[in-house]
Amino acid sequence: MGHLADEEQQLDNPLALEHQVCFSLAVASRMVIGLYRPVLSPLGLTHPQYLVMLALWQFEPLSVSELAEMLELEPATVSPLLKRLEAADLLVRERTPDNERRLTVSLTGKGRELRARAEAVPARMMERLGLDVQELQDLNTTLQQVISKAVQAHGDTDERS
C-alpha cells in the first residue's frame, strides 16, 4: 500500500525533489566522497588524486590522454592533479621519445609503495558506509548501467544536434 501511495505522489508531482534521480546521485556522490576524505588524508591524497593513483596502480604507464579518458575527465582537468602528485614525488610525467607531444605518466618508487597503504581503503569505506561486498557490487553494477545509458544518450543527442 505504501509503494502505491509513493507512485501516486510521484505522478501528482513529477518535479518533487525527492523523486529526482539527479538529486539522489548528486547527494550520494557528495556524501560518499566526503566519507573518503578522512580515509585518504593520511595517505596525503584527495579523492580525485586517489582516482588517478588507482588508474596508475592498475595500468601504468599511461599517457595523459589515456588517463583522462579512463577517468572520464578532460586532460586540462587531469593536468593539475598530475602536477600535485608529481610534486609529492608519487609520479613522473615524461615526454615519449618517439612523440614529443605525448606525455607518459609513471609511478615513482614512493607512488608504488603507497599502494600497500591504500589497500586498506576499500575495507575502511565498506565499514564507514555500513555496506557489505555484495551490496557494493550491486550498487556499482547499477551505477555502471546508469553511466552506460547516459553515455549512450549523450551520443544520441550529439548525433541529432
pLDDT in tens, 55-64: 999 999 999 9
Q: Is residue 61 part of a domain?
A: yes
Per-residue confidence (pLDDT) for residue 77, from 0 to 100: 94
Q: Is residue 88 part of a domain?
A: yes
Cα–Cα distance between 61 and 70 in angstroms, integer? 13
What are the helix and strand counts (H, E) for the chain? 8, 3
pLDDT score of 157 more than 90: no
Q: Is residue 129 part of a domain?
A: no
Q: Is residue 100 part of a domain?
A: yes
Q: Is residue 45 part of a domain?
A: yes
Number of folded domains that form the chain: 1
Q: Is residue 21 part of a domain?
A: no
Q: Is residue 147 part of a domain?
A: no
* Grid cell locating 108: 615513482
Q: Is residue 71 part of a domain?
A: yes
- Could you tell me the pLDDT band of residue 5, with boundaries at 50, 70 and 90? low
Cα–Cα distance between 132 and 67 in angstroms, integer? 29
Q: Return the CATH number at 43.
A: 1.10.10.10
State which residues form the domain around 74.
Answer: 35-119
Per-residue confidence (pLDDT) for residue 62, from 0 to 100: 95
